[in-house]
Structure 1
Amino acid sequence: MKGVIGKKGFTKSKKEGDGKSPVGIYSFGTAFGSETKPDGLKMDYRKTTKYDYWIDDQSSQDYNKWKTYKGDPDQKWKSFEKMNHELYKYGAVINYNTNPIVKGKGSAIFLHVWRGETKPTAGCVATAEKNVLDLLKWLDPAQKPHIIMGTEESLKPVK
């Protein structure tokens, strides 16, 4: 299936806001979306609301975490992503920079619905909605699935 990555390609040294996708092998976290949990999904699923945000504010203790907040997010964080929007109709967290979290190393890396096959992401992996749904239904947490991100060349030293 076709997919897109960060508008500036892959990198082995990801930095917050660089427009690049991180090279490596990563497990998946929670599946999510603005729609109800799809039938046949084995992964944990979280339905997003207008109060859900992924924090990319490097000065915050909430950096690279999903937070539910009912106040004014602009008053709480310098930078965040709304989790309840069209590109996140269906998706899954890619466990990049999640344990431990290193501030500034990049945040909010997801598998999600694309804008189109010629429209890159800010660092995520994206594909058509049908493909995202097919992948989410195919992924079985009992099998410990991972995503391999990078070019053949960039992945040579990755084990």
Structure 2
Amino acid sequence: MISRVPRASLLAASLMLTGCGGGAVAASEHVPGTTTVRTPTPTPTTSLRAASQEIPGLGPRHRAAIPSRSGQVVVVTGRGRNSPDATVVLYQRKGADWQAGAPWPAHNALRGWSHHHMSGDLRSPIGVYTLSDAGGLNADPGSRLPYHRSAKFSSPGTGFEGEPLDEAFDYVIAIDYNRRPGTSPLDWTRPLGASRGGGIWLHVDHGGPTHGCVSVSEEHMKELLLALDPARHPVVVMGDAASLSL
């Protein structure tokens, strides 16, 4: 049986120059200013479900933390506090209601979730965070968020289950946790200090748990990049189901 500890160490080392909690990105827990809107792109073909006046699964604490101006909310619901499995749904405001997109399977950090994320704890931070910047190893697929393409979005090595990380950062969206919005996801600035981690992204799923990020399929990453609009002030609400219900 493969030991978890060596794999965790290898993954941490492989991500030190990229993200997913490895140390390259920094963030802020507060709402940033607006971002320049890019030329509109075609509407993605994400299937929609029924509208509701409230986003299901969110308790009063998390509903209140969503800025009133936000018209797009990416909800990441973890299966359990210590589980690396999650579901992602994009909600878009339609008048007084929220329209739900199709649910997407996702991964989060190896050890689950934390209300007080720390560097190296292998847990994803629980909370509500703005989404301001995107990037990746691949060319911009038509993102409305500012897109920063760079060869530095590299991910050598393997994940916790031995899966290759080669394409994990082909597309990323920076989650504004302990980072400076309005900069490349590769920016190292950490307003909360290095001990609080950083480099928390939405990125392409590699088939296993992450270091701290949330990952979905490449197809769904492209859908998010096409859908998220700075003019609608998108945010992500993320955590295990029990925590989100508070």
TM over 0.5: yes
User: What amino acid is the match of 2:197?
Assistant: G
Give 1:102 deviation, angstroms: 2.3
Give 1:98 deviation, angstroms: 2.1
CA offset digits 1:41-73 (Å, max 9, x no partner): 211000012xx3xxxxxxxxxxxxxxxxxxxxx
Q: Provide the residue aligned with 1:46 in structure 2.
A: 148
Q: Provide the residue aligned with 1:11 in structure 2.
A: 114
- Which of 84, 88, 91 does residue 154 from structure 2 map onto? 84
Q: Identity, % of aligned pairs?
A: 33
- Which of 231, 235, 239 does residue 142 from structure 1 map onto? 231
Q: Secondary structure at the match of 2:128?
A: strand
Q: Secondary structure at the match of 2:198?
A: coil
Q: Provide the residue aligned with 1:33 in structure 2.
A: 136
User: What amino acid is the match of 1:9?
Assistant: G
User: What amino acid is the match of 1:45?
Assistant: Y
In our comparison, the structure showing a higher alpha carbon Rg is: 2
Segments ≥4 residues shifted beyond 6 Å: none
8 Å contact kept, 2:132–2:230: no
Q: Provide the residue aligned with 2:196 in structure 1.
A: 105
CA-atom RMSD in angstroms: 1.4
CA offset digits 1:8-34 (Å, max 9, x no partner): 001101110111000000111311011
Query: Any stretches of 5+ residues in structure 1 without a counterpart?
Result: 53-82
- The aligned length equals 122
Q: For the residues of structure 2 that align with 1:26 and 1:140, how far apart are their CA atoms? A: 15
Give 1:2 deviation, angstroms: 0.6
Q: Provide the residue aligned with 1:114 in structure 2.
A: 205
Q: Secondary structure at the match of 1:36?
A: coil
CA offset digits 1:100-156 (Å, max 9, x no partner): 33220111100000112xx11011000110011111111011100001111232134
Query: Any stretches of 5+ residues in structure 2 without a counterpart?
Result: 1-103, 156-166, 181-190
